[in-house]
Each structure stands twice: as structure tokens, then as C-alpha cells.
């Protein structure tokens, strides 16, 4: 298929974008911080759409469609967008999920995304993005990733594949995969193994797939600390801290190694924080406390094992509680997200099932916008530092 012709971004201040699988709108926050205008969004989940409207206070310049993508047609979408962003469901691709792949009950929604792009015809965006979990790369021995690349190829896109952990920007370990489809790919190439590790190289080595590797600045190095900057301030008498019996049951469940780690931090003069997940080991529920000063990957709040606890240690004291909704928002790079009037589980589900804002902003600034402006082959500006993101405060 021939490359499409699109208006130059120089003729309009902010290139327009479509946001598929919008969730609570974190991709929109990142894209708009990076210079785009998100004009249209869609999600099937009523609770997420409520959060979306609650935060953005919709104006006439944006349309949010709540409902199943299978009910939409290309004629329902704006035809002037330069970018399409899709964060499709990961349930059937995640290592913690069903592993049914792109044909699974939920992850098959990817094909609706492809269908709608196809129905836009010659007016489809010049750039199309798919964001998902790293499990997409290994699902069905890599065939699902190849199928996704082929689907974009059939629409006229060459595809780059990047692996980016949100830990490069915020203290949360959240690795994700990004497929960047370009109608007009760069002619120069770059290996850059920090973003395209060995386990992705089979995609670029497959001669049947049309791929490219754009020249990009080095992203920030992964954070090794910083969690305390994102912890909600509360005094020791706050009722959200677990009572003595519950806290001691938590600490009693720790393995010898875990207990030694906690005891060492407890005796230090400064206060420190760690996150913890509940696991099942040998059929017994136990808690495991992270060794580093970084949160584990936030998950949707479904059952106790999916929620992280916050452990406060130092000056001879120790305490534990659940991670708060505000901490969920902050650790996704959206500290100023409007949480008023929302239920805690609604908030944690929305943020646990989303893409981190600063990762999207970095891609928007250093990949997506340059791709539209035609200078991906030229030297780019310096990357964002860990704390430059608009929403990373």
C-alpha cells in the first residue's frame, strides 16, 4: 500500500490523536504533555469512562465514546488524526493471565483496533501505536507479536518494537511493549539494545515482516530508589495503618531472609518505605517485601493478592497498610488526577490497568512527534530526566 499523505504538523499547532482502549485517559495525559491533541477516545468500561469524564471535564473539542469497539465503524471516527494510540487488553497475553494470546476473549479486541484503522482507508493516521505487556513477545512462541506486526504491515505501516519500563521515569517496575507503526519510516537505523533487547531481535530478523529501528535518544536509566517521594503523608495514628494484630501477622508470615531485611531497615535512623505483595508459597499465603526502594508493578484491585502493601520502617518502629489510591495515581505519573467522588477500588482498578503517563510523554516527544515532523533521522533533543514530566510530581 502506498504511503499516505497527511497535513504537516507545522500547519497546525497540535497534531490530533485518536485514543483507543482509553481507560481513564493516562495515554491522553502523556500525549497531550508531548504536544498532541486527543480529539476522540473510546473505552468499554463504564467505571473507567466515569473517571475519564470526572477528570477531563469534557469540552466540545473532545469526544469520548463509551461502548464496545465492535459496534463502531470507521465512519464513526474523526478522519483528520495524525496518530492512533491503542492500549489493548493484556489479560490473555500476561504471564499472570490465560495466555490465550491475541485470539483470547479480551485480548482479541486488538483486531477491532486493526479493523477500524483499516476502515479509515486513505485517511488513517500516519502513526499508529500498540501498547501491551511484554508477554505479547512470548505469547504462542512469538507468533502473536509477529501477527500484530503483519496486521500493521497490511495497513501500510512499518513497525518498530520497543520495550520500556516505567521505572526509567517513576519508581514503579512496570515493563511494557510498544509497537510503533509508521507510514513513512526513517531510512536510518539504530540497534539501541536498551530499548530493543535480545528477546525482541527475532522480530527485526524476520524478512517477512516490514520493520524499522528509529534513531532515538537514550532514555533515563532505571530508577533504583525514590519510592518515599511518592508516599502519601500520614501520621502514625492514622486509621489506615493496620492494627497491631494484623501487622504482626504480616511480619510473622515473612521468610527468614525477608524478616532480616525488615529488621535491618527497622533499626536504621532514617525512615524508609518498601512495598510488599502477598504470595502463595507451598500452598501457604505469605508476604514478600521488595528489597529495593521501588514499587512493584501496580495491578488491578481484584482480590488481596493483587494489592500492594506499604511498609514503613526505621527508628526502631515498623508499620504496614494498604497502598492508597493517591499513591496509585502518583506512581503512574498522574499525581494531580482528579480522584474526588471515586471509590477506592474504582481508582485502583483504573490505574492498575493503564499505561504510565511519563512513558507516553517520552515517546510522544522523542518518537511520535519527530516521526510526523520528518526528522527522526536527525539528532534529537536531550531526553526527559526522571522528574521533568508534566504529571510526574
Q: Would you say 300 and 352 are in contact if contact means Cβ atoms under 8 Å apart?
A: yes
The CA-to-CA distance between both ends of the chain, in Å, stands at: 44
Say if residues 175 and 197 touch (Cβ distance below 8 Å). no
Please name which of 165, 106, 195, 176 lies closest in space to residue 136, comparing C-alpha atoms.
176
The model's pTM is 0.89
Query: CB-based contacts of 108: which residues, under 8 Å, 6+ apart?
Result: 92, 102
- Domain locations in the chain as residue ranges: 9-224+350-373, 233-323
- For residue 29, CA distances in Å to 43, 100, 133, 334 come to 16, 31, 20, 8
Topology of domain 9-224+350-373 in CATH is Rossmann fold (3.40.50)
Per-residue pLDDT of the chain (393 residues; tens, 9 = 90+): 333 334 444 445 799 999 999 999 999 999 999 999 999 999 999 999 999 999 998 767 899 999 999 999 999 999 999 999 998 775 544 445 554 555 644 457 889 999 999 999 999 999 999 999 998 888 777 788 999 999 999 999 999 999 999 999 999 999 999 999 999 999 888 888 899 999 999 999 999 999 999 999 999 999 999 999 999 999 999 999 999 999 999 999 999 999 999 999 999 999 999 999 988 778 888 899 999 999 999 987 654 457 899 999 999 999 999 999 999 999 999 999 999 999 999 999 999 999 999 999 999 999 999 999 886 665 444 444 444 444 444
Amino acid at each position: 500500500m502506498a504511503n499516505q499523505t497527511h497535513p504537516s504538523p507545522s500547519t497546525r499547532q497540535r497534531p490530533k490523536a485518536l485514543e483507543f482502549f482509553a481507560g481513564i485517559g493516562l495515554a491522553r495525559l502523556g500525549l497531550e504533555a508531548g504536544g498532541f491533541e486527543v480529539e476522540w477516545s473510546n473505552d468499554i468500561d463504564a467505571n473507567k469512562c466515569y473517571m475519564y469524564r470526572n477528570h477531563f471535564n469534557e469540552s466540545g473539542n473532545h469526544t469520548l465514546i463509551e461502548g464496545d469497539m465492535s459496534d463502531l465503524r470507521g465512519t464513526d471516527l474523526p478522519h483528520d488524526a495524525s496518530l492512533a494510540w491503542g492500549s489493548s487488553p493484556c489479560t490473555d497475553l500476561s504471564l499472570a493471565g490465560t495466555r490465550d494470546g491475541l485470539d483470547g476473549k479480551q485480548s482479541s479486541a486488538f483486531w477491532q483496533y486493526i479493523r477500524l484503522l483499516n476502515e479509515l482507508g486513505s485517511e488513517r493516521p500516519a502513526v499508529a501505536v500498540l501498547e501491551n505487556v511484554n508477554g505479547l513477545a512470548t505469547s504462542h512462541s512469538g507468533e502473536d507479536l509477529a501477527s500484530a506486526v503483519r496486521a500493521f504491515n497490511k495497513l501500510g505501516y512499518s513497525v518498530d518494537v520497543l520495550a520500556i519500563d516505567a521505572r526509567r521515569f517513576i519508581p514503579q517496575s512496570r515493563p511494557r511493549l510498544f509497537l510503533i507503526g509508521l507510514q513513512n519510516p526513517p531510512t536510518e537505523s539504530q540497534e539501541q539494545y536498551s530499548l530493543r533487547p535480545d528477546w525482541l531481535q527475532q522480530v527485526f530478523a524476520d524478512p517477512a515482516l516490514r520493520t524499522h529501528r528509529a534513531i532515538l535518544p537514550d532514555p533515563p536509566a532505571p530508577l533504583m530508589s525514590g519510592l518515599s517521594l511518592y508516599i502519601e503523608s500520614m501520621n502514625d495514628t492514622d486509621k489506615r495503618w493496620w492494627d497491631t494484630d494484623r501487622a504482626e501477622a504480616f511480619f510473622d508470615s515473612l521468610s527468614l531472609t525477608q524478616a532480616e531485611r525488615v529488621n535491618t531497615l527497622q533499626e536504621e535512623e532514617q525512615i524508609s518505605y518498601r512495598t510488599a505483595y502477598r504470595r502463595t508459597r507451598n500452598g501457604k499465603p505469605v508476604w514478600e517485601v521488595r528489597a529495593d526502594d521501588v514499587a512493584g508493578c501496580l495491578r488491578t484491585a481484584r482480590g488481596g493478592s493483587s494489592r500492594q502493601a506499604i511498609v514503613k520502617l526505621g527508628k526502631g518502629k515498623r508499620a504496614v497498610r494498604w497502598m492508597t489510591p493517591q499513591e496509585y495515581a502518583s506512581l503512574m505519573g498522574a499525581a494531580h488526577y482528579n480522584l474526588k467522588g471515586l471509590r477506592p477500588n474504582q481508582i485502583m482498578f483504573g490505574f492498575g490497568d493503564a499505561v504510565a503517563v511519563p512513558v507516553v510523554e517520552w515517546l510522544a516527544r522523542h518518537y511520535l512527534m519527530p516521526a510526523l515532523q520528518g526528522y527522526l533521522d536527525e539528532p534529537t533533543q536531550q531526553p526527559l530526566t526522571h522528574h521533568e514530566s508534566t504529571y510526574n510530581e
